[in-house]
Structure 1
Amino acid sequence: MLSRPERRNALDGTSIAELEHALQQADRDPAVRAIVLSGAPPAFCSGSDLKELATMSIQEMCDSESDTARVARSIAGMSKPVIAAVEGFALGGGFVLAISCDIVVSATDVRWHLPEVPNGWLPPWGLQALLARVGPVRARLLTWAADAMNGIEAHRLGVADYLSDPGAADQTALALAQRLAALPPDAVASTKRFFEPFVSLDGERLDNEASRHFARNCEGGAAQHIFSKFKVKS
């Protein structure tokens, strides 16, 4: 579980390291057959922690986001299915982390949104996961972030795979996990390995390309204005 409720489960260096460790540990444990990733209330994840990023140079920001990208990409290569249980909202990096999971369960009232372009920069990682789910034309439109969408619309577009009532995403995800856990584990792992190239095709290269765009965008006035709001005033 992502557990920084005071920061709406925003992704910082510590939480990403903890998530990587938890995923690796679960994947190595033969008693674990399926994994559910959720967020402590009130939300799944509000994205990258801009308060932390605002303290960094542009290169340090790119390095930090690359670490997050690597962890998100690693989900496709795991031997166990990973299910995102999404409540409240999934914004920016939280949106992309959720769709990097094998299965996405969304409550109907979840707010899904990619706010990066309005903030002044291209999302620096994870766009391959969006491409795999909705195709390039729809992915481009969602990345332009014209409108936030609820869980019902996310499900219609293929961003989410299953819907639940508000407050029931965890239960729905756990029920799916139990169904997958009851299947022969070698066959489940083989299924992930077979489909991995189609799901994550060229993901690392695309993340590196997005990171270069991100770095250039962060030099611009719109991005600098956003980051200035999160810097600690002396």
Structure 2
Amino acid sequence: MLLSEHQEAVNILTIDRPRRRNALGTDLICGLKTALRDAEANDEVRAIVLTGTEPGFCAGSDLKELGNMSMAEMREHEAVTAALARSISMLRKPVLCAVSGFALGGGVALAAACDLVVTTATCRWHMPEVKIGWIPPWGLEFLLGRCTPATARRLAWGVEAIDGAEAQRLGLADYVTQEASALPMALEVANTLASYPLPAVVATKRYFRDSFAAHGEIRDAEANLLFAENCEHPVAKATLNAFGVKA
């Protein structure tokens, strides 16, 4: 469910769960944690690119897997996923995200957690959590790091989906391409960074780290708690019942 490929000094990590729309299940989160740790420790790797196989980058949490969990287990799963996303900021090496097709829910938050984001112009970005009954349970701090508070709130409410061009205009993405895949441009940027002196790249990432992750753990814990409270509402309960969560 996770492919790892090396192209010169760049490690490409590809989420490969097309039948689950590349959703974030427990095994995938564990695999991503290991792969990022290995890339960080590999002296030949100077940059990392995270992407997904077709049809899109990532659809967020794996609802089928969550359907077999209790509410407490689901909260723990989301907390572990949040910790993985926060760990990206703590890596020394730059992590780029190539987003094609769609980024939904936690897929938006995971992309926003990366250092640089490349999106296709037609990519669909959307956070649907509020509509189905709850606050996004993690990752909102990364939206605040990339956008104004008003824009982050708009994105979290998810009133409308936006395309990649709008995501780049709002600051959610850094680069936009008209091609069908964002990967070639992401690799171009990654290779450029990989060609720079590593200490300078590392120092620059470290300098800006607090702007994106200083309060992430506290804010994710608050969102997780609010998520649990939201799940007591009838609309949220109906959503949970639809995929079998044992609330």
Distance 2:169 2:206 in 1: 27
SS in 2 for 1:38: strand
Structure 1: gaps spanning 5 or more residues: none
Report deviation, 1:166. 3.5
Q: 1:30 aligns with which of 22, 26, 43?
A: 43
What's the CA shift string for 1:157-196, capped at 9, x where partnerless? Answer: 0111001124231000000000000000011111111111
Distance 1:172 1:224 in 2: 42
Aligned residues: CA RMSD = 1.1
Distance 2:194 2:138 in 1: 30
Report deviation, 1:229. 2.2
Structure 2: gaps spanning 5 or more residues: 1-13
Identity value in percent: 50
Distance 2:124 2:181 in 1: 15
Q: TM-score, normalised by structure 1?
A: 0.97
2:107 equivalent in structure 1: 94
Matches within 5 A, 1:11-26: 11-26=24-39
SS in 1 for 2:44: coil
1:153 equivalent in structure 2: 166
Letter in 2 for 1:6: R
2:67 equivalent in structure 1: 54
Q: TM-score, normalised by structure 2?
A: 0.92
Q: 2:124 aligns with which of 86, 111, 123?
A: 111
Residue pair 1:124, 1:211 contacting (<8 A) in 2 also: yes
What's the CA shift string for 1:39-72, capped at 9, x where partnerless? Answer: 0111000000111112211111110000000000
SS in 2 for 1:194: helix
Report deviation, 1:231. 2.9
SS in 2 for 1:167: coil
The alignment status of 1:135 with 2:148, answered yes or no, reads yes
The alignment status of 1:184 with 2:197, answered yes or no, reads yes
Q: Across the two proteins, how many residue pairs are aligned to each other? A: 232
Matches within 5 A, 1:48-87: 48-87=61-100
